[in-house]
Amino acid sequence: MSFSIVTASWFRFSFPIGLILLIALGKDNVVSVISANQSISLNLPYVLFFACAIMGHVFKQSRCAMMATAMLISYWIIQNYLQSPLSTGTTLLELSLLAFALPGACLAIYIFKDNSVRSRSFVAYLAIVLALIIWSQLTLNYLSESGFNQNDYPLLYVEEKISRLPLVLLLYLSAIVLSCAILVLRYNRIVDAVVYSSILLSSATFAFFHVTYISSALFSLAGFLLLIYLLSASYELAFNDRLTGIPGRLALESDLKHLSRKYSIAMLDIDHFKSFNDTYGHDTGDDVLKLVASKLLEVRGGARVYRYGGEEFTVLFKGKYADEAWDYLDELRQSIEDYELVVRNMDARPKDNKQGQKKRGNQSKTKTVSLTISIGVADSYEERNTTAILKAADQALYKAKQSGRNCVVAAE
């Protein structure tokens, strides 16, 4: 999928860094463009963050909307309270408080689950942001009234060759950015990418705050990235199967448009799934589908897997004919046959927690069942039309069913 590049962990990690480097290399040009279009450039972050909040509501991605709200409020504070030189008044102190508080507001979105903007969680998040603002204002008032002097505190040492912010604050921001980057590379979730890019770009803004128009440039980039991630979220909702978590039929149809000459397609079906569903219930049936999907993700040979619909799945091997993919498919069939699925009696489950604890560990009433799958595979050796190959794989699957199930059959 062409759009899958945007959803890759390496892209979500490196792209914001690349944008910052481009801004640094073309700093003079960026300043000239913003200076010539001040009315648009200075208001662009407001428009982008507001648009992100609206889209977050539409796509039920309230955590993206929360992030957009925090960034919008921070940008408003910068434009209305931090426009005087850092050497005058309490400007540097105000900037330091904002640089300390904003990452906390960004990380706070992990507390909540995605929902609409009208949910209680969004109101609770606004309360957290308000509490941070009140804390910052009280801290500022206290330090101002007590005659705070940064030079009296060695911990707040500033290395002006690096930044105007205290060095300890730079280390604090760097540690948070690094932690968020690890989350992106390890889990690659939308929320991780949103938090990472927002904290990275805002931290770069605070670190180089003395650079002209830096807040407008980097906060605009943060807004654009939020929009990209929201589009990624809508993409995942449309192309990924929500039950199993693997790509769905739309993703398969998209991938089939970008195939080379050599490939094979396998269709597989869970044997006797309907009777299994009728016997043990739909919840257990869903567990079966999740199990098969998890086993599909373990298929070797560079396979891409999809839920085609119902209990039917598809495996795509790029660069392999059916005979080359055969061993990987049979290995999948064997691994599912060997797996014993535990079926719990939900009707006999105690409603009282204490009774449940007494019965916990008693496996006498626990039942295990075995699953099998049938697989049909076809390739592009003689036929290049993907629709025809899919049909041939489906016909091979039908032959596998007719041959007694729990086997792999190649199309003739």
> Catalytic residue numbers?
311
Do the beta carbons of residue 267 and residue 394 sit within 8 Å? yes
DSSP assignment of 363-395? -TT-EEEE--EEEEEEESSS---HHHHHHHHHH
Q: Which of 397, 343, 342 is nearest to 373 (CA)?
A: 397
58 touches 256 (CB < 8 A): no
From CA 380, how far away is CA 391, in angstroms rounded?
12
3-state secondary structure of 77: helix
Dihedral-angle region of residue 245 (phi above 0 means left; psi in -120 to 50 means alpha; beta otherwise): left
The count of other CB atoms within 10 Å of the CB of residue 412 is 8
Cβ contacts of residue 125 below 8 Å, gap of 6+? Answer: 66, 69, 108, 109, 111, 112
Q: In this structure, what DSSP letter does residue 280 have?
A: H
d(CA 382, CA 200): 52
Q: What's the rounded Cα separation, in Å, for the pair 201 and 217? A: 10
Distance CA 155, CA 226 (A): 35
Distance CA 114, CA 183 (A): 18
Which is nearest to 246 in space by CA: 188, 315, 193, 301? 315
Report how far residue 93's alpha carbon sits from residue 162's, in angstroms, rounded to the nearest whole number.
Answer: 18
DSSP symbol at 161 = T
Three-class SS state of 313: strand
CA gap 186, 203 in Å, rounded: 22
CA dist 129 → 54, 76, 92, 120, 189 (Å): 19, 14, 21, 14, 23
Burial of 39 (0-12, 13-18, 19+ CB in 10 A): exposed
For residue 340, the surrounding DSSP H or E stretch is strand 340-343
